[in-house]
Structure 1
Amino acid sequence: MWPARMWKSPALLARSSVALTLTRANSKEEQQDKGWFRSFFVHTVNQRKDAHSNLLSKKETSSLYKMQFHNVKPECLDVYNNLSGQILQKLHNDPEYPCEIVGSWNTLYGEQDQAVHLWRFSGGYPALTDAMEKLLQNKEYLEYRKERSKMLLSRKNQLLLEFSFWNEPLPRRGPNIYELRTYYLKPGTMIEWGNNWARAIRFRQENNEAVGGFFSLVGDLYVVHHLWAYTDLQSRQETRNAAWQKPGWDDCVYYTVPLIRYMESRIMMPLKVSTLQ
């Protein structure tokens, strides 16, 4: 006879077999659930053989962009706008400087008392270096920068390239408000972002609202800026709602949202010096 502690009845063995099967099934389901849940937080990136700046930027131009963010003391904003407008206009019109002011704004909604300036350097890094060296010899500009420093709480800038599939930011008449939507992406996802938006941008061009799209090279990295123009906030709402009625726009949102770490939106009013009015 088997020892009592080793003997099990057929009914007990059957129950044990069922329990083991259920345990294995539950374990498998838990693994699947964990995999499904984990997919929200882990994004697989395909291996690339080239820098995203080479794959996504416009090849027919060599323009480099600089975006400046100046946080101004509230009591100094009007003085800052007047002084900056004078200096920026001179630099924009001077053929000796290989740079032009594309847009200049104050934020209405978002960070308050902020000025945003978008520069274009036709000729890439050599043009940027040339302009910076000349500015260091420009006494009027150096005096302006000294006065400006008294009005600012903080400042930062970024060097940018424009996406090949976006509109080039060209001068436009106003009045308009502008929205700068900024996306901070997960590292390694810029190519996937570009692939999705290259297909989706056509859904946002019918009302001429698409102004320009850029990605960062220096400063905060894996940052995308989309610049839009609307006649007012109501037209912005109507234009954005209309995009959801177009088959394919929902796919762009579905596939790009998981690529974003966080995002922000600024509603901006153009200054007089801005070519984007």
Structure 2
Amino acid sequence: MAARVLHALGCGLRHATLQSNPQSRLSVRSASSIKSLFVRKVDPRKDAHSHLLAKKEDNNLYKIQFHNVKPECLDDYNKLCEEVLPSIHADPNYPCELVGTWNTWYGEQDQAVHLWRYRGGYPALTDVMNKLKKNKEFLEYREKRGKMLLSRRNQLLLEFSFWNEPVPRDGPNIYELRSYQLRPGTMIEWGNYWARAIEFRQQNQEAVGGFFSQIGRLYMVHHLWAYKDLQSREETRNAAWKHDGWDEAVYYTVPLIQHMESRIMIPMKTSPLK
């Protein structure tokens, strides 16, 4: 009741002020006009953002896996992965490739990250899953792995059309996975800005791959970068600010982000990305 009374009093005072002071009415209208300039207007679209942002020349689907491992099991977990995952990668009967496999160094601890590529999209993913159900070695691996994990999650991803496809590279390198939770409805804007911004970050070939989620946590973006070491990372990132246009890309993309996270990762012995 008190809140309603205060609200009514406030409205009455505001009305009286506007009636007695025409200049106040003008100020309010001006403020409203200025405010309207900053209200984000998203045009309606008749196509999914995945069709607008993803590569058209192929039909690649990616899966990223995050495994949180019991601290005392990490070494055994790594050995198990190194024994089994490369065999799936090398088998021509499986239309999938292990892009990279890492342990998180800085960020969430005792964590493994695996990135797979499926040539042929969802049918290839289904084909691999059905074959793995009959793969004795994989079923044993999954049983052993389950006893070593605290939790796990995954996402299905598409790659941005303006990023290069991830390809094997020699090392040693460290990798940074920068993950962004975007505000719903802003993926197209993100893609428009980064299509230009990526040009500033390819000078030292640090850009490995850029992806956005399709299944799992939605409106997620992952950027994967490679550096020789942490000092090289610092110097490379600072150098980007010397390019005209990088500051503008950062300025306009930061408001699109709800949450962001950075992982520094070390490749496992059998990772194609060394």
TM-score norm. by structure 1 comes to 0.89
Task: State the partner residue of 1:151.
Answer: 148
Task: State the partner residue of 1:210.
Answer: 207
Which runs of 5 or more structure 2 residues have no equivalent in the other structure? 1-16
Amino acid at match of 2:60: S
TM-aligned CA deviation for residue 30 of structure 1: 5.4
Amino acid at match of 1:214: F
Matched, 1:83 2:80: yes
TM-aligned CA deviation for residue 184 of structure 1: 0.6
Task: State the partner residue of 2:219.
Answer: 222
Residue number among 105, 108, 114 corresponding to 2:105 in the alignment: 108
Pairs within 5 Å for 1:158-169: 158-169=155-166
- Could you tell me how far apart the structure 2 residues matched to 1:73 and 1:104 are? 18
- Could you tell me how far apart the structure 1 residues matched to 2:45 and 2:116 are? 30
Answer yes or no: is the 8 Å Cα contact 2:208–2:225 preserved in 1: yes
Task: State the partner residue of 1:56.
Answer: 53
TM-aligned CA deviation for residue 228 of structure 1: 0.2
**Alignment RMSD, CA only?**
1.8
- Could you tell me how far apart the structure 1 residues matched to 2:98 and 2:24 are? 67
Alpha carbons of structure 1 residues 17 and 233: separation in structure 2 relative to 1, 3 Å: closer
Task: State the partner residue of 2:125.
Answer: 128
TM-aligned CA deviation for residue 94 of structure 1: 1.0
Amino acid at match of 2:253: T
* 1:162-190 Cα deviation digits (max 9, x unpaired): 11110110000000000000011111111
* 1:128-156 Cα deviation digits (max 9, x unpaired): 00000000011111111111111101000
Task: State the partner residue of 1:251.
Answer: 248
Residue number among 139, 142, 150 corresponding to 1:142 in the alignment: 139
TM-score norm. by structure 2 comes to 0.90
Task: State the partner residue of 2:24.
Answer: 23
What SS class does the counterpart of residue 240 from structure 1 fall into? helix
TM-aligned CA deviation for residue 200 of structure 1: 1.2
Amino acid at match of 1:246: H
- Could you tell me how far apart the structure 1 residues matched to 2:268 and 2:40 are? 41
What SS class does the counterpart of residue 21 from structure 2 fall into? helix
Task: State the partner residue of 1:12.
Answer: none
- Could you tell me how far apart the structure 2 residues matched to 1:225 and 1:125 are? 20
- Could you tell me how far apart the structure 2 residues matched to 1:90 and 1:248 are? 45
Pairs within 5 Å for 1:180-199: 180-199=177-196
TM-aligned CA deviation for residue 23 of structure 1: 3.3
TM-aligned CA deviation for residue 32 of structure 1: 5.7
What SS class does the counterpart of residue 28 from structure 2 fall into? helix
TM-aligned CA deviation for residue 100 of structure 1: 1.0
- Could you tell me how far apart the structure 1 residues matched to 2:85 and 2:104 are? 18
Runs of 4+ in structure 1 over 6 Å off:
none
* 1:182-229 Cα deviation digits (max 9, x unpaired): 011111111111111111111000100000000000000010000000
- Could you tell me how far apart the structure 1 residues matched to 2:231 and 2:191 are? 28
Aligned length: 258
TM-aligned CA deviation for residue 22 of structure 1: 4.2
Alpha carbons of structure 1 residues 25 and 86: separation in structure 2 relative to 1, 3 Å: same
Matched, 1:43 2:40: yes
- Could you tell me how far apart the structure 1 residues matched to 2:23 and 2:120 are? 67
% identical equivalent positions: 68
Task: State the partner residue of 2:69.
Answer: 72
Amino acid at match of 1:101: L
- Could you tell me how far apart the structure 2 residues matched to 1:162 and 1:27 are? 46
TM-aligned CA deviation for residue 26 of structure 1: 4.7
Which runs of 5 or more structure 1 residues have no equivalent in the other structure? 1-15
